[in-house]
Structure 1
């Protein structure tokens, strides 16, 4: 069980990092670039795709031990992370429908792991 917990934590950390790399891509997309090449080849974009590569490796590592359906449930936490980052970094608004949706996702994750 200890192995499962470790690999699950690695998977969750990878999901968190993937969410953060999406923030990096959005930050880059919101900037003016000198050329089309600079739009796609700049430190934020390269860093974001480097993190995506790292998260792919963490998923491969985690899925060696955890069942695929557990990995899929952990991946759903991406919605929570991305919403938080959007609110925190970009001032995106959260209305009650979004909060209810996030609550349902959290409840689903809790029910899945609690039962």
Structure 2
């Protein structure tokens, strides 16, 4: 994989991870909710007007564009597993930004993911 291809793939992964974090921030701002017939429109409107959610959806759009460019350069059997790097980024970002727990079991899983991505990238 050449440097430009790697940049496209990593940019797609980063944008996707950023989208998840922004969506979580937007949902946190709204708080816990249940969709019922009575509140589907008010909750839907609250969600649709949260700037972090709008930003997250925008990141998704850009991530798809960048991902398509990356897929035009890299085999899908190499590119698709790289998406798992988003789990690693999001785990640490969620710990830092939202106070989510990084247990030993999660850290071991992250290590396994990183080893797998390294093996794939070198193939």
TM-score by length of 2: 0.83
- For residues 10-59 of structure 1, give each alpha carbon's deviation from its aligned partner in whole angstroms, at most 9, with x where no partner exists: 111111111111111111111138x4212222221111111100000001
Task: Note if contact 2:19-2:60 (Cα within 8 Å) is conserved in structure 1.
Answer: yes
Contact 1:63-1:71 at 8 Å conserved across structures = yes
1:96–1:6 CA distance, 2 compared to 1 (3 A): same
Give 3-state SS (helix, strand or coil) of 1:65's partner: coil
Instruction: Name the count of aligned residue pairs.
Output: 112
Q: Which runs of 5+ in 1 are unaligned?
A: none
The residue aligned with 1:78 is 86
The CA deviation at 1:110 is: 1.4
Rounded Cα–Cα distance in structure 2 between residues aligned with 1:60 and 1:32: 33
Aligned pair partner of 1:47 in 41, 52, 55? 55
RMSD over aligned Cα, in angstroms? 1.6
